[in-house]
Structure 1
Amino acid sequence: MTDPQTEVLILTQDFDPTVDPVVRSLNAKGARVVRLDLSYFPHRLSFTSSDFGDEFQVLRHRDGEIDREMDLGALAGVWYRRPTSFDFGTEMSRAEQEFSRYEALIGVGGILRSTDCLWMNRPDLDAVADLKPYQLTLAKRTGLRTPRTLLTNDPDQVAGLLEREDGKVVYKSLSGGVIHYPGAFPSGLFTTVIGDEARDHLGRVRHTTCQFQEYIEKAYEVRLTVIGNTYFPVVVDSQSNATTEVDWRADTEMAYGDYRPLPDQVVKQTQALLDELGIVYAAVDFIVTPDGEYVFLEANPNGQFMWMQNDLGLPMSDRIADVLMKGERFRRGDVEQVGY
């Protein structure tokens, strides 16, 4: 039985059902779990670091009539999942709130960064790992094939690409493609093959950075969930449905293929990529061509996984709990691939 005093901090928003099974697994393994959102700061949440007299770093959370306290120096692990930002209320002016926000970013961020424990993933590393063009650069350095890519807000560059390129070209958002319109549900912007009509709207490229890539023929796709040194490669049979041929997110019904472990070389290259990014958790997407070549698309440092755990019975929550309870900084090592 694991030491019952093992303490784990989870930082995420109030509604995050992905966290619930992990909390249950941590509790079953004897850990003490504190789950918080950073929006509780500063009214219901405080952070203190002091070396006047006895040195200590402590977190206190007031939840109704209950006060909870956590010794940040005793943490085994922190899961930085999807917290929302600090909430300073309406008591201060906008200028005062901006000042307080920057002070809190430096203060709270500095206190949490000083903890000598495992982070999945540290927010500063998450921020860099989320830079998709940087991922592609690193992936190419490891030897992984990546799609040929144009990043630009210059319409003339796109016009030139469409004139030169004989094959299909796709537009793919850099940030996940979720658009929040006021008063409506968030809508998704899926990867799309560019047609002739794009030439009539090239001026819109000027508005922001746009990503255009070569279209790569697929036999199937792989969604790889990396939890520490455990790999969960899931085959996505995207080509069996016309709706999902270009982007498998376009249909709510997922078509899975038979389990296929990653080739050793792809594992080594992926490990090298994640080592450069410094992250413990990632959701990595690959295309597998009809010739069997793996093509790296992207690595999401905070990608969803619960739908695969539920559909395929994969022990992902348990592995996350194990990593968080380990009580030491993560070290990349031999990979275990888990099938279904």
Structure 2
Amino acid sequence: MSNTGPVLIVTSLDDPTADLVIAELADREVPVMRFDSGDFPAALSVAATITGDGLNGTLSTPSRSVDLAQVRSLYYRKPSGFTFSGLDEQAAKFATAEARYGLGGVLASLPVCLYVNHPHRVGDAEFKPSGLAAAAGVGLRVPPTLITSVPDTARNFIAQHGPVIYKPLSTPQASFDGPTTLKIAEVAADEIDDAVAGTAHLFQQRVDKVADVRVTVIGDRVYCVRIDSDLLDWRTDYGQLSYSVVGPPPGIRQALHTYLKHFHLTFGAFDFAIDRHGTWWFLECNPSGQWAWLETETGLPMVSTMADLLARGAPGL
């Protein structure tokens, strides 16, 4: 039995990747409802009932309404946050929390839905220490990494493993029009001061790389694109990049699927650095990463692959 219900796409207004996927689904006559959770409650409403028969109800925008029990797939991209104007600070905090656990809880509980990815699993996978530990656990090569708030520990790590780079622990907001919010940068031991004690920091041995690789996994499909540049962080200047399609070394493909299974993810955008010996070093996996621009650069059929996955829905339906 196939599910002929709608595909929900949850993202902000400005999302060119979502635009491409929606156009592809429309060409296939697959019903789609796009919305931003930040539109709730002004331009988005929910009415869900939970009984012994499970969850039922509707999700509505000014232009359409969908049956929550019939949603075949939910593509969770990059929605904006909730905003409640006209409320005092305490009331706005309460309303935001209720919206998060109310609307968010409903969207996380759709009964016959394929999630790409489930919003709760996205949150789990965005913790970089968890991702690095999981990568090492599935056999991927991970550079020596330190998470610390102790200045002397950071200095000792740099002395032992230098050159070392500093990375933000939270996911930076990448943009095709500019750099990330906080640049990855090499750091020396004498640059470490007592300010390190103010919060947690991530330090990692710098890979002596010759290129980067972005690996996009969509369901069971794996697309590897080599990115050549002279940049420490290629996301800081897309104009300097050149691209080529490559195959993964032995064992990488299975390790990626095992990694995603660990976090219960269906999609992942993995970043690797290739050293001069050809070794692939795992850097991170973004469960909501960008990918559509790589199709433009390489011709890989990534949009159609994502549309295939969303149109197919949950296994067994």
TM-score, with structure 2 as normaliser: 0.90
Residue 87 of structure 1 and its aligned partner are, at CA, apart by: 2.7
Distance 1:235 1:211 in 2: 25
Provide the residue aligned with 1:337 in structure 2. none
The question of whether the paired residues in 2 share the 8 Å contact of 1:47 and 1:60 is answered with yes
Mapping of residues 147-166 of structure 1, within 5 Å: 147-165=143-161
Mapping of residues 42-57 of structure 1, within 5 Å: 42-50=41-49, 56-57=56-57
Matched, 1:118 2:114: yes
Distance 1:123 1:86 in 2: 15
Distance 2:191 2:205 in 1: 20
Number of residues paired by the alignment?
Answer: 311
Q: CA RMSD in A?
A: 2.5
The question of whether the paired residues in 2 share the 8 Å contact of 1:170 and 1:215 is answered with yes
Provide the residue aligned with 1:191 in structure 2. 184
- Structure 2: segments with no counterpart, 5+ residues: none
Residue 211 of structure 1 and its aligned partner are, at CA, apart by: 0.9
The 1:4–1:23 alpha-carbon spacing in structure 2 relative to 1, beyond 3 Å, is farther
- Structure 1: segments with no counterpart, 5+ residues: 180-184, 331-340
Provide the residue aligned with 1:86 in structure 2. 82
The 1:96–1:270 alpha-carbon spacing in structure 2 relative to 1, beyond 3 Å, is same
Candidates 322, 327, 331, aligned match of 2:313: 327
Deviations 1:149-177 (A, max 9, x none): 11112112112223334x31111222244
Provide the residue aligned with 1:76 in structure 2. 72
TM-score, with structure 1 as normaliser: 0.84
Distance 2:49 2:301 in 1: 40
SS in structure 2 of the partner of residue 106 of structure 1? helix
Distance 2:173 2:197 in 1: 20
SS in structure 2 of the partner of residue 88 of structure 1? coil
Q: Which is worse superposed, 200-209 or 294-303?
A: 200-209
Distance 1:139 1:52 in 2: 40
Distance 2:237 2:273 in 1: 17
Residue 210 of structure 1 and its aligned partner are, at CA, apart by: 1.2
Residue 200 of structure 1 and its aligned partner are, at CA, apart by: 4.4
Provide the residue aligned with 1:61 in structure 2. 61
Provide the residue aligned with 2:235 in structure 1. 249
Matched, 1:274 2:274: no
The 1:97–1:329 alpha-carbon spacing in structure 2 relative to 1, beyond 3 Å, is farther
Matched, 1:224 2:215: yes
Residue 178 of structure 1 and its aligned partner are, at CA, apart by: 4.8
Candidates 135, 151, 171, aligned match of 1:139: 135
The question of whether the paired residues in 2 share the 8 Å contact of 1:11 and 1:37 is answered with yes
SS in structure 2 of the partner of residue 21 of structure 1? helix
| Bigger Rg, structure 1 or 2 | 1
Distance 1:133 1:287 in 2: 18
Provide the residue aligned with 1:235 in structure 2. 226
Provide the residue aligned with 1:182 in structure 2. none
SS in structure 2 of the partner of residue 35 of structure 1? strand
Provide the residue aligned with 2:34 in structure 1. 35
Distance 1:75 1:202 in 2: 52
Distance 2:214 2:102 in 1: 37
The 1:159–1:235 alpha-carbon spacing in structure 2 relative to 1, beyond 3 Å, is same
SS in structure 2 of the partner of residue 231 of structure 1? strand
The question of whether the paired residues in 2 share the 8 Å contact of 1:308 and 1:314 is answered with yes
The question of whether the paired residues in 2 share the 8 Å contact of 1:23 and 1:33 is answered with yes
Distance 2:196 2:52 in 1: 59
SS in structure 2 of the partner of residue 85 of structure 1? coil
